[in-house]
Amino acid sequence: MTQDNAHFPQLWQPADLVASRQVNKESILELIRWAPEGISRAEIAQQLGVSRATVSAVVDRLIDAGLVLERGEGVSRGGRRPIVLEIAADGGRVIGVDIGATHLAVMVTDLRGRVLAESLIDIDVQAGARRTLGEVDTLVRETVRQAGCLWDAIQAIGVGVPGPVITLEGTVSTPPLMPGWDGFPIRDYLVGQWSKTVTVDNDADLGALGEWAFGAGQQESSLTYIKIGTGIGCGILLDGRIYHGAQGTAGEIGHMTISADGPPCSCGNYGCLEAMAGGRAIAERAQLAVKAGQRTLLAGGGPVEAITARQVAEAALAGDAVSQQLLGDAGRHIGSAVAALVNLLNPGLVLIGGGVAQAGNHLLRPLREAALQRSLRASMRSTRIEVGALGRKATAMGAVALALSRTFHQYFDGGRTQERQTTGVEAAAQTN
């Protein structure tokens, strides 16, 4: 997978940039980062409304730091041919980590976001913070070795977790899928392990960021990303910024009540969307169907209690009617929640991601039908509902995007990256 053509919406204006020399420096770097064919000093000066001398001074520093290089001569529009600038891909490496309820994914990329190595293993996040983070440390170091790079080359690491994150503290707050993790200093613990800049955020928020940066959400300033895995979460991008809410718990769509008389949920309530349509709920209903003697491809393949949502999706794609019915029911429940989001936020794009989303139209068709039926026509008219382009890799790539931004912006502030406003993707990930 390569992201040479990745593009971030230009959510800032030149008039805002000239107010701060610091922002000018970062914005020059942003333009170089996301110009697919490279960009010249003159083009940067023109787009930002600053002098050519200002641009040249900053660019020279970036070249000296090994972050930018001169690729060669570009196309002349009259006069001398300009020198085209681009990010120095080998100026360092970053890591994206996706800690799921039952999986752990790690990616190592260069400074253009091109994946050099990736790893995926099964885990149980309920095993506790220290044990799980020990597995994270082991897999991260193993993947760095697979990438063929030294640990000293790692500039920053982004980490996604399946729970509400207090971003400034790098902790999770009462996470239903992560018992024992409440208040654990995840970021500080990993900084102690790695001695690197570490950023921790919610997995669905990073999924939204990944799709916006590298996937189906490019050019969109307002989108929602619904991650359907063991649980269900939602990343919300409004006017180019991830909306975290007052305490980092915005987007917990999985705990929206669908049926007051529904099954118990891990959060302590009843009839939550996650308890009705999450991966764990789908698996449990499939297990009940097998125990009830229904004819299904899921029967006879091993212990009934071991049936997973992934197996249900695979059986549905193979034509299994029971599995298709289970996914259809889940899709209709999720579609009702999507309708509420569309009526409330009116995003231009709703992206469906996570492992269960790989079931395709068996989930997506009933989801769309329910969303259309239950939303205001005016709201839905401008909203598209699609499957994310990055699949199960969206969260890890969102973590990569955030790590890349940390890498570049810490150059300008001497490493003070945890408590300040920035431009580009890092600003998109900050709390409004």
Query: In 3D, which of 25, 399, 417, 336 has the Cα closest to residue 207?
Result: 399
What six digits make up the tokens of 354?
A: 């996570």
pLDDT at 406 over 70: yes
What residues does CATH 3.30.420.40 cover in the chain?
Answer: 92-210+392-428, 218-388
What six digits make up the tokens of 406?
A: 């940390």
The 10s digit of each residue's pLDDT in 163-203 is: 999 988 999 998 999 999 999 999 999 999 999 999 999 99
Element (H, E) at 373: helix 361-374
d(CA 79, CA 41): 15
CATH of domain 92-210+392-428: 3.30.420.40
Please, are residues 362 and 322 in contact by the beta-carbon 8 Å criterion? no
- The runs of H, that is alpha helices, within 297-393 are 309-317, 321-345, 361-374, 377-381
Q: How confident is the model at residue 413 (pLDDT cuts 50, 70, 90)?
A: low
d(CA 367, CA 325): 13
What residues does CATH 1.10.10.10 cover in the chain?
Answer: 14-87
* 59-63, 73-77, 191-195, range with greatest mean pLDDT: 191-195
Mean pLDDT of the chain: 87
The partner residues of 154 in beta bridges, in order of sequence, read 93
Q: State which fold the 14-87 domain adopts.
A: Arc Repressor Mutant, subunit A (1.10.10)
| 3-state SS assignment for residue 43 | helix
What six digits make up the tokens of 217?
A: 């959400």
d(CA 228, CA 343): 21
- Amino acid found at 121: I
- Interior angle at CA 159, CA 414 and CA 410, nearest 5: 10
The model's pTM is: 0.86
Residue 420 confidence (pLDDT)? 34
The partner residues of 349 in beta bridges, in order of sequence, read 223, 384
CATH of domain 218-388: 3.30.420.40
Pairing outcome for strands 223-228 and 93-99: unpaired
